[in-house]
Homo-oligomer: A and B are copies of this chain.
Amino acid sequence: MDPNKKTLIVFSGDLDKALAAFIIANGAAAMGNEVTMFFTFWGLNIIRKPEKVKAKHSLLQAAFGRMMPRGADRLGLSKMNFAGLGPVMMKKVMKASNISTLEELIATAKEQGITMIACTTSMEVLGLSKEELLDGVEYAGVATYFDYADDANVNLLI
């Protein structure tokens, strides 16, 4: 076990939880930690490419894919979403307070060398393919998660 390693499972695809996840991850990395983030279920939407990507899916998988948000700029809030008005308000407040946007936080995470892993089982459940996710993302399952978590001293799930 290494006191300078941290993992974070990102299950949620809500803007507020995604912000918290990246603020925690970037904070840990800035303090000299090796950080690994595992994106699973709705959390995969955070690392989805914003543009439409052609991918082979069954009809049902394609339906899920169409209904889920494409990327960090399209996420809703877990509370007070108000059909999309909540995120707009929150982004304005954040901008006025000079707090980084989620896209900027993701870019910082990459710059700091944070490992981002997409859960392949969830990708099948939600019908998401590799071409639809951000470049630089790695792909693995639960066994890989525990390889990292067993080595880390703080493991969180959001």
Residues on A lying within 8 angstroms of B by beta carbon are 1, 3, 9, 11, 13, 16-17, 19-20, 23-24, 27-28, 30-31, 33, 40-42, 58, 60-61, 63-64, 67-68, 78-80, 89-90, 92-94, 96-97, 99, 121-122, 124-127, 141-143, 145-146, 149-150, 153-158
Secondary structure of the A contact surface, majority rule: helix
Q: Are A150 and B154 in contact (CB under 8 A)?
A: yes
Q: Which residues of B contact A80 (CB under 8 A)?
A: 64, 67-68
Copies of this chain in its oligomeric complex: 3
Q: Are B155 and A23 in contact (CB under 8 A)?
A: no
Partner of A143, one of B17, B31, B143: B31
Sample of 19 further A-B pairs with CB below 8 A, known A20-B41, A157-B157: A3-B150, A9-B24, A9-B156, A11-B17, A11-B20, A11-B158, A20-B40, A27-B141, A27-B142, A27-B143, A28-B146, A31-B143, A31-B146, A42-B78, A60-B89, A93-B125, A94-B125, A99-B124, A154-B155
